[in-house]
Amino acid sequence: MKRMLDLRSDTVTRPDQAMREAMRNAEVGDAVMGDDPTVLQLEKMGAELFGKEACLMTVSGTMSNQTAVLSMTGRGEQIIVHDRSHMYNLEVAGLSVISGVQPRPLPAPEGKYDLQTLEENMIGTAIQTAPTTLICMENTFDLNRGLAIEKNYIDQVCRLAHSHGVPVYMDGARILNAAVALDEKPDVLCEEVDAVSLCLSKGLGCPVGSLLAGSAEMIGKARRMCQMLGGGWRQGGILAAAGIVGLGRWRELEEDQRRARSLAGGLARLGLQIDCDQVQTNVIRVELGSLGLGSREFCQALSGFGVLAKPIETGALRMICHRDIGDEDIPAVLAAVEDCLNSLDR
C-alpha cells in the first residue's frame, strides 16, 4: 500500500523506535503523589530549558493554557489575547467557561500588539469594569502561518505589562520552532515572560503532553488547577519518557524548517501563491485564489495522489513539515501537487 504523506499538521507525528523504547523502559511512580521519577526529570528539564523556577507536565497545550489562566487570574477579571490566538478561538470558550475571565481580543497583525493600543486596553480596578490581570502572547503566532516573534518585541510587551503590575503568559505550543528560527536559546527568548507553555506532541514527536513553566508559586497553584481539570497523572513517567527524548533533540526542528522552505519554493514554481518570506518555521500557507480552486476540492483531489493537506479557508490551505517527512518526501509531495493540478479542470 502506498504511504500517505501527511502534511496536515505536526500533530500527526508518531513516536519513533527510540521514543517507544524509552517509554517501555520508563521508571514510574505516582505523579499525583509526587514520586514519579521520570515525570520529575522531565519537569526539571522543562524548567531549565526556559530558565524558570518550576515546571508542570500537563495533558495538552489547551490544558496548559487553561491551567495557566486559572493560576494567574481570578474569576471576573479580564485578560488580553490576540484576536487570532489559539486560546481565544480554538479552546471551546474555556477562558469564559472554565476560568470565568473576560477575554479582551486585540488585533495583532504578524503576532504583535500595537503597544499604545495594548496599554490603552489595560484596565484598572473600577466599579464597572473587569481589571486586566494577564496579557497573553503566542509564539509561534498563527497556526496557519507559524510566525516567529522575536525577543526584542516580547521584552517590550513584558516591560509594559510589568510596569502596570500585570504578568505575561506565553502560549508557546511551537516556541521551540521560534527559538530555532530566531537562533535564540529558549530561556533567553522567554526570560521576561512570567510563564510559558510548550507542546510536546507536535514537532517533537511525542504521543501526548505539554509543559507549563513559571515561578515556583505559580506552578504550585497550577498543580492544583491541573488536578481539578482531571490532569493528574498516575504512572505518567511512561509518557514523560517520550518528552525527555523529544526535548533532547529539539534542535532537529531546523530540519523541518529547512524542508518547509524547500517545499514552499517548489510549490511557488508550480504556480501556487506562496509568500516565501512568511515561511519562517515549518508552516506553509498556500493560496489557491488565482487558480479558481476551492481548498476542500483541491485537498480532496490531492489525497488521491498520496498527499494530505489541510483546508483553512475557502481559497487557502496549509502544509506543515515535521519529523516524519524526510528530504526524500519533498520531491514526492511536489510531484503529487503537479499531477493533481494537471488533473483538475481549471
In sequence order, which residues have a C-beta less than 8 Å from that of residue 180 and are 6 or more positions away?
250, 251, 253, 254, 257, 281
Residue 321 confidence (pLDDT)? 98
Q: Is 17 helix (H, G, I), strand (E, B) or coil?
A: helix
Residue 2 confidence (pLDDT)? 73
**Distance between CA 97 and CA 77 in Å, rounded?**
13
Mean pLDDT in residue range 158-170: 98
**Distance between CA 312 and CA 307 in Å, rounded?**
16
Residue 344 confidence (pLDDT)? 84
Q: pLDDT digit string (tens) for 42-91?
A: 999 999 999 999 999 999 999 999 999 999 999 999 999 999 999 999 99
**Distance between CA 190 and CA 175 in Å, rounded?**
9
Mean pLDDT in residue range 317-339: 97
Percent of the chain scoring above 90 in pLDDT: 93
pLDDT at residue 214 is higher than 90: yes
Mean pLDDT in residue range 186-205: 97
Mean pLDDT in residue range 101-106: 97
Mean of per-residue pLDDT scores for the chain: 96
Q: pLDDT digit string (tens) for 275-310?
A: 988 999 999 999 997 788 899 999 999 999 999 999
Mean pLDDT in residue range 22-51: 96
Bridge partners of residue 170, in order along the sequence: 137, 196
What global pTM score does this model have?
0.95
Q: Which of 212, 230, 207, 233 is nearest to 222 (CA)?
A: 212
Residue 158 confidence (pLDDT)? 98
At 199, list the grid cell: 507542546
pLDDT at residue 3 is higher than 90: no
Residue 289 confidence (pLDDT)? 79
pLDDT at residue 27 is higher than 60: yes
Side-chain-side CA neighbours of residue 12 (13 Å) = 15
Per-residue CA distances from 3 to 15, 55, 255, 309 (Å): 17, 38, 21, 14
